[in-house]
A and B are shown apart, each in its own frame.
Chain A
Amino acid sequence: GAVVSQHPSRVICKSGTSVKIECRSLDFQATTMFWYRQFPKQSLMLMATSNEGSKATYEQGVEKDKFLINHASLTLSTLTVTSAHPEDSSFYICSATGGPGYEQYFGPGTRLTVT
């Protein structure tokens, strides 16, 4: 089956620094990748949709300058949390799909802790 990986699985950073999270589709070409955020004991909230080679589409209320998304290739999307603050601490999950009509496959998630 299709596999999506995320790196790192856990990261701790200091307030004010930036951190990059990678999402890779290992055995298929992902024309579209999605980034979700999950707060403790809550559901997944879609942050943005990224299509390979174009700018990401952000959901309402998500700061695009704070959460930079790059989808430079058909197998890699990155989420960079810029000038991180403790309130950015969360579980970030990506998913990938081969395109409209193709199923989404979810990555294992990245736990970000900002101190």
Chain B
Amino acid sequence: AQSVTQLGSHVSVSEGALVLLRCNYSSSVPPYLFWYVQYPNQGLQLLLKYTTGATLVKGINGFEAEFKKSETSFHLTKPSAHMSDAAEYFCAVSEGNFNKFYFGSGTKLNVKP
């Protein structure tokens, strides 16, 4: 069975600082991994995904994530935070065929001026 753990329900960074949002997963099969962003009262927007191939994936808005199989992690990073990055971020895993997504509990990112 798949599960996702996001450490830190709230993360606060200063504008221009590094953003690091943590995600660990468990999966009995090779996972597909995703990061989504959600703004208040809106749906999910895909930031990036890992399916196969290169373990460092780049997404929109300057975000990237690295799949580390040995650590069962897929942490999201951005070198320099912008005020517009303030939102809630969800890590998700699927069973390798895009069906049945399992979401983490989410991390709310606050960006201070």
Chain A residues at the B interface, C-beta cutoff of 8 Å: 6, 32, 34, 42-46, 49, 91, 93, 95, 97, 100-104, 106-109, 111
Contact = CB atoms under 8 A, between A and B. Distances in A.
Contacts of B100: 34, 46, 49
B89 to A, nearest CB: 11
B104 A43 contact: yes
Contacts of B42: 108-109
Nearest to B42: A108
Contacts of A103: 49, 98
Interface residues of B, number: 19
A109 B40 CA distance: 11
A106 B44 contact: yes
B37 to A, nearest CB: 11
B28 interface: no
